[in-house]
Every structure is written in structure tokens, then in C-alpha cells.
Amino acid sequence: SLCAAAEQNLSYQELKDLKKANVLHIDVRERWEIDRFGKIPESINIPLGELMEALQMDPTEFKEQYNQKMPSKSDPVVFSCLAGTRSKQALGFAMSLGFS
């Protein structure tokens, strides 16, 4: 299940369309889930338990850790997980840190 602030729930097709527009896709599942169920192409994995810290990192440290440019507070970001609960939490965390 996928979450974004403007649209709480996204379909797979909506996500595909957003990815064409350079939206950062953060998968907040645990690493063992990625290993077991597979990685979503062009997503970065930041387990929910690491997300608050990751979104407050120095941009250089973020790039080193996740091999991806750190999003600015106004960059479009989509969170996903297995059932939708964690992606909604991730959205709340990001918004509480000032991400729009």
C-alpha cells in the first residue's frame, strides 16, 4: 500500500506515473521483507524505525547511507509498505519534520 500527502492512497498505476516525474519512493518495510518479497524497482529502503533519523541526516551522510540524494522538505515523496499502516506512519513522521 502506498501513501502520499496529497493523495492518501495511490494505485500501482498512479505510482508508476509519479515515478516518471522523479518522485522519491521510500519503502519503509524491514530489510528481511525486501529480501523475502522483493524490492520495488527504483525505490529506496529505509525501514520505518530508521526513517525519523534518516530524514534528519546531513545530506552527504544520507547519500552515503542510502545511495540516493536526500529529499528536500518540498520534494515529492511516496512511502510504501506491505499493508499501508507503516506508510501512513512514515507520512506522519515526514510531515511532523516539515515535509510537505
Interatomic CA distance for residues 63 and 75, integer angstroms: 16
Residues 20-60: pLDDT tens digits?
Answer: 777 889 999 999 999 999 998 889 999 999 999 999 999 99
**pLDDT > 70: what percent of the chain?**
89
Q: Could you tell me the CATH number of the domain that includes residue 21?
A: 3.40.250.10
Q: Tell me if 74 sits within 8 A of 32, measured CB to CB.
A: no
Q: Is residue 4, in this structure, part of any structural domain at all?
A: no
The pTM is what?
0.83
Q: Domain count of the chain? A: 1
Domain of 23, in residue numbers:
11-95
CA angle 12, 16, 20 (to 5 degrees): 165
Interatomic CA distance for residues 57 and 9, integer angstroms: 27
Lowest mean pLDDT among 9-18, 26-35, 68-77, 81-90: 9-18
Residue 81 is among the residues annotated as catalytic for this protein: yes
Could you say which of 46, 51, 81, 91 is catalytic? 81
Q: Is residue 5, in this structure, part of any structural domain at all?
A: no
Q: Is residue 20, in this structure, part of any structural domain at all?
A: yes
Q: Is residue 70, in this structure, part of any structural domain at all?
A: yes
Quick one: pLDDT at residue 16?
72
Interatomic CA distance for residues 38 and 94, integer angstroms: 24
Q: Is residue 55, in this structure, part of any structural domain at all?
A: yes
Q: Is residue 69, in this structure, part of any structural domain at all?
A: yes
For range 4-16, the mean pLDDT: 65
